[in-house]
Chains A and B, each alone.
Chain A
């Protein structure tokens, strides 16, 4: 046992003596620390800002004066997506999607003002996050450190001595693996610190722990690949070249090719496209603003019968409010059907993307990371769904106010003069129908479940890479 420990210690001694290794490790360490601090500050500021904006939007809504209730339907409201605690490590799609959405009657708007729209464009790698450093840069560091671990012994002739002394190839590989594991463990510290910090912000320990575990597995996969190359290949430069090719392929090329492939495989229509289809259908439903529209005749007959009266003027409720409520419900069904279809297609694109994890563990960790942090596409879709529910609820509550608290005759007469307009208002207390909206991450179990596939892929990668190291180590000969 002490032999293995000595091999590991010796490896470390060599690394510490090598300027290039120390410099590389320091640079990565500094970069990691700087990016973590910057991202934590930025996301923490955003978390606070979005919460304040959400509260301000609610208070402004409540503070509106007495008005015609339909005016409030168009006045609208805002929903803000507050970044989850783990966004300090993995901001995910938030920068691309925009974090606020305007909610109003008869429309589903898109999330607006994505950060990327106003970002300084410096190419694909400029948007550094702690997560992207772990995914792309740390494997490269492991390659620089470890590409010649066993090879060096072969090159310098010490391999023969050690084998002759009775060290088995497996022990030798184990010693090297322990040395590399120690490096990985050290570089896990910033992630563990950020995860602990996010738990302090209210993150669930299970997801934070899974995230740490996922990245540990990811780095171990790279460690194993590096070790395997240093065992199997006979020349330093060949080993380094091969490993850099693997890195280039897995970390840079495959993820982007997977995007190309999922985009080409499934054509998810944009919002305008599906809106156009929908608008044609909507026209059949009638216009919610015009209660005399023929499409509402059937509804009218039903409502008149229900209240046992002959004309809409005799109804105890405001017919215009009834129409608004009915058409909003119909329209929302249509809107939701199309929105769900779009989201389903996007989710399918993402599943295709995730399958490419078979070709690159970087895809697996990226998806797991976003899923666990609650900054993935699925969370964005849930934000869209929840803000839609918020929209529908306040619009329908206002329509109910319109139907029940505003007299039909007064309502119809509202444009006659200033006094008539003043009378066609309801008390501002009615605006309290608006629900409080606080977007929260999915439950920890749900996020872990959603990341099972990606975490499973990582496990497979780890098994395969570990297996190769094991087989190669047993066959170490001169």
Chain B
């Protein structure tokens, strides 16, 4: 076996076509991870700047107030999802879904859907990241490397002779293909491993990622192997294999996406906003009890402080902000669940398409999949709840205003 492998290796070294595809794989992989690292570092730098400026801004905003209400009104808090140690390999949803917000005590539904995303062209065209390379380009390179192993020997009229001499067809083609697949896998993975060292990616993630790349290549190898048993000319084989790639990489995902989205309608986001806004705005004209009653249902602990006597009181103001969120909650829940079920079904549909499967698996490892983005939104919701839990006990019993207590304002901590 070893002898045949080293023989095939020396054959490969003389096959200029194959060397070209292998070199291309290496270059593309190196380029993809370099850009990925650059982007991730830029995002980290942005977050570091934002944390600093946000703290300065909040300190400034909290300087000159005399009551808890205006302190809550003017203090914004940065929330963010830092890129993971593997995000350089798969930017995923981070280009089209927001990963940073500044929220305050007001109704959250009016704030959390703000989309501070990058240039729209980025989300539209997509980045050249390692996930895209491994999912879509690598199979094409593999096809180009393997499709004419047999057919070229047929063309050269050596095929039957070779098979007869080798004894078993397995002994002949297996080492030849194995050398190429291994070379491709290594050349794709070496830049990834290098980048992982730089980014201090955890070993388990990188092992999983490598396993995904290798298994995807094995699946495609199997496809090529099955197809190349057909006794056809190399160009017909290549055409058919490209057709298979098209079907698996484009047609199946597109059909799955269309079907999943048709079967899982998402409530119109505008409705969430509209409902929340209408509730908050109507509250100004309604009797104060109409706000305080639904508020107390949610927060019975403040019932003894729920009588509003003045024309304007901050606790009433924040109560109707919260009631706005409460009113919109069922719709928000529907929106969230529709997103989750779309994602869950996409996960199942991806089993039909190796490219979708690889891309999704990478996004999951990198924490840039839909689930992670929703988890980030949940963290923002939790943080907003903490803000309210901090302010309500000061505001409702009308505790004396003491700015030093504001030093204990909850701080947003991203989940690691």
Tell me the A residues contacting B by CB distance below 8 Å.
Answer: 20, 23-24, 27, 31, 35, 38, 53, 65, 67, 71, 74-76, 78, 92-93, 95-98, 100, 102, 109-114, 116-128, 136-137, 140, 144, 147-148, 236-241, 244-245, 248, 252-253, 255-264, 267-273, 275-277, 279-280, 283, 346, 349-350, 353, 366, 377, 380, 414-418, 420-421
Q: Known: A110-B114, A114-B96, A148-B235. Contact between A255 and B250, CB under 8 A?
A: no
Does B242 contact A257, Cβ atoms closer than 8 Å? no
Does A123 contact B136, Cβ atoms closer than 8 Å? yes
Residue numbers in A under 8 Å from B114 (CB-CB)? 109-110, 112, 271
Does A120 contact B281, Cβ atoms closer than 8 Å? no
Q: Which of these, A65, A241, A270, contacts B17 with CB under 8 Å? A: A241
Of the A-B pairs whose beta carbons lie under 8 Å apart in the complex, a sample of 23, sorted by A's number, is A38-B258, A96-B120, A96-B124, A100-B270, A102-B273, A122-B254, A122-B356, A123-B253, A124-B126, A128-B254, A148-B235, A236-B235, A238-B17, A239-B235, A252-B136, A253-B28, A253-B128, A256-B128, A259-B125, A272-B101, A275-B102, A276-B54, A350-B121
Residue numbers in A under 8 Å from B46 (CB-CB)? 269-270, 273
A3–B284 Cα distance when bound, in Å, is 84
Residue B208 CB within 8 A of the other chain: no
Residue among B121, B137, B254 with the highest chain A CB neighbour number at 10 A: B121
A443–B264 Cα distance when bound, in Å, is 37
The interface stretch among B159-167, B182-190, B343-351 is: B343-351
A65–B350 Cα distance when bound, in Å, is 52
Does A273 contact B50, Cβ atoms closer than 8 Å? yes
Does B242 contact A144, Cβ atoms closer than 8 Å? yes
Q: Known: A20-B236, A122-B253, A270-B46. Contact between A252 and B137, CB under 8 A?
A: yes
Contacts beyond the supplied A120-B257, A276-B57: 20 A-B pairs with Cβ under 8 Å: A24-B243, A67-B285, A75-B277, A96-B124, A102-B110, A102-B273, A110-B115, A118-B269, A120-B349, A122-B360, A126-B256, A237-B235, A248-B140, A256-B126, A257-B128, A262-B121, A263-B127, A270-B46, A270-B100, A277-B53
Smallest distance from the beta carbon of B350 to chain A beta carbons, Å? 6
Does A415 contact B310, Cβ atoms closer than 8 Å? yes
A97–B118 Cα distance when bound, in Å, is 10
- Count the A-B residue pairs with Cβ separation under 8 angstroms: how many? 268
Residue numbers in B under 8 Å from A117 (CB-CB)? 96-97, 115, 339, 373
Smallest distance from the beta carbon of A156 to chain B beta carbons, Å? 13
Smallest distance from the beta carbon of A97 to chain B beta carbons, Å? 5
Residue numbers in B under 8 Å from A144 (CB-CB)? 239, 242
Residue numbers in B under 8 Å from A258 (CB-CB)? 125
A96–B310 Cα distance when bound, in Å, is 46
Does A118 contact B270, Cβ atoms closer than 8 Å? no
Does A353 contact B121, Cβ atoms closer than 8 Å? yes
Residue numbers in A under 8 Å from B359 (CB-CB)? 122-124
A254–B363 Cα distance when bound, in Å, is 22
Does A125 contact B249, Cβ atoms closer than 8 Å? yes
Residue numbers in A under 8 Å from B124 (CB-CB)? 92-93, 95-96
Smallest distance from the beta carbon of B360 to chain A beta carbons, Å? 6
The list of the 4 closest CB pairs from A to B, nearest first, reads: A113-B269, A415-B311, A256-B128, A237-B234
Does B350 contact A260, Cβ atoms closer than 8 Å? no
The interface stretch among B34-42, B173-181, B210-218, B391-399 is: B34-42
Smallest distance from the beta carbon of B333 to chain A beta carbons, Å? 14
Smallest distance from the beta carbon of A9 to chain B beta carbons, Å? 23
Closest to A268 in B: B119
Does A93 contact B120, Cβ atoms closer than 8 Å? yes
Residue numbers in B under 8 Å from A238 (CB-CB)? 17
Does B251 contact A31, Cβ atoms closer than 8 Å? yes
Q: Known: A273-B49, A277-B53. Contact between A259 and B121, CB under 8 A?
A: yes
Residue B12 CB within 8 A of the other chain: no
Does B116 contact A270, Cβ atoms closer than 8 Å? yes
Residue numbers in B under 8 Å from A120 (CB-CB)? 256-257, 260-261, 264, 342-343, 345-346, 349
Q: Which of these, A71, A110, A380, contacts B284 with CB under 8 Å? A: A71
A144–B243 Cα distance when bound, in Å, is 10
Residue among B97, B151, B270, B353 with the highest chain A CB neighbour number at 10 A: B270
Residue numbers in B under 8 Å from A275 (CB-CB)? 102
Q: Known: A74-B281, A263-B122, A415-B310. Contact between A123 and B128, CB under 8 A?
A: no
Residue B369 CB within 8 A of the other chain: yes
Does B339 contact A257, Cβ atoms closer than 8 Å? no
Smallest distance from the beta carbon of B19 to chain A beta carbons, Å? 13
Does A112 contact B242, Cβ atoms closer than 8 Å? no
Mask: chain B, 334-375; 1 = CB below 8 Å from A; 0 = not: 010011001101100110010110011001000001100100
Does B342 contact A118, Cβ atoms closer than 8 Å? yes
Does A283 contact B60, Cβ atoms closer than 8 Å? yes
Smallest distance from the beta carbon of A55 to chain B beta carbons, Å? 14
Mask: chain B, 215-242; 1 = CB below 8 Å from A; 0 = not: 0000000000000000001111011101
Residue numbers in A under 8 Å from B92 (CB-CB)? 121
Does B277 contact A118, Cβ atoms closer than 8 Å? no
Mask: chain B, 309-323; 1 = CB below 8 Å from A; 0 = not: 011100000000000
Residue numbers in B under 8 Å from A350 (CB-CB)? 119, 121
Closest to A353 in B: B121
Does A113 contact B113, Cβ atoms closer than 8 Å? yes
Does B102 contact A121, Cβ atoms closer than 8 Å? no
Does A125 contact B136, Cβ atoms closer than 8 Å? yes
Residue B199 CB within 8 A of the other chain: no
Q: Which of these, A125, A136, A263, A277, contacts B355 with CB under 8 Å? A: A125
A144–B128 Cα distance when bound, in Å, is 26
Does B254 contact A112, Cβ atoms closer than 8 Å? no
Smallest distance from the beta carbon of B179 to chain A beta carbons, Å? 19
